[in-house]
Amino acid sequence: MEKSAIFCVFLLLFGSCFYKFGLVEAKARFHIIGKGMECSTNSLLVENKTCEMTKINETNEVYSIDVYFKDGIVINEIFLQMSWMYKTASDANFKPFLGLSNVTIDVCHYLINGNSMMVDLFLEDVKKHSNLIHSCPFKGHCYVKGLGANVRRFPAFIPSGQYNMMLIFYTKTNGTDDVLMKVKLYADVKTMF
């Protein structure tokens, strides 16, 4: 990882510690404007899914996902692979934001031990809007309803540009990765002065 990316990750984590422990009040100097959402699921494991972004006003939207695992399907391990990419007006291609490309989190381990500062930042919002905050296994109906992008959870230095976030939830069956669901979010970030 190049030095500038390491420094950006340090700033994000350092600033997040101050926010998380109440040492500073974060003031966002940008708007996140949702542009879309795409979801796909593994039809062998999931029988029904709903995935939608609802605009509340010009600069706010909420995201909802409903997933129904097929009868008899019990998910004992879940992993999340996350990539957060962006490009500014002067960039030709998307690049990893703060080095966050292909970050993998063992969700079941995290829910028991809580060992990821990046996840901790967003977990409070997810708790309020889902039925996902419990230890494994997962089965039946899982949902996130009305989750918005809480700009107070982000560092104040996010550059203007186009962003996309890919979330791939998967399990392991006999040593093979089985994708449960892919979620891709699209947004623009506009800096305020």
Question: What is the predicted pLDDT for the residue at 138?
Answer: 92
Domain total of the chain: 1
User: For 26-66, how does the pLDDT look when each residue is reduced to its tens digit (9 = 90+)?
Assistant: 455 777 888 889 999 999 999 989 999 998 887 788 899 99
Inter-residue contact 22 to 151 (CB < 8 Å): no
Run of H or E residues at 103: strand 103-106
55: number of Cβ within 10 Å: 11
Helix boundaries (H) for 59-145:
107-113, 117-129
pLDDT value of position 74: 92
The Cα–Cα gap between 113 and 136 comes to 12
* Rounded (10°) angle between helices 3-20 and 117-129: 50
Question: Taking residues 88-104, what's their average pLDDT?
Answer: 82
Domain region containing 151: 3-191
Quote the pTM value: 0.77
CATH number, domain at 41?
A: 2.70.220
Confidence of residue 112 (pLDDT cuts 50, 70, 90): confident
Beta bridge partners of 32: 189
- Range in 6-20, 81-95, 175-189 the model is least confident about: 6-20
Which among 48, 12, 53, 43 has a CA at the least distance from the CA of 185?
53
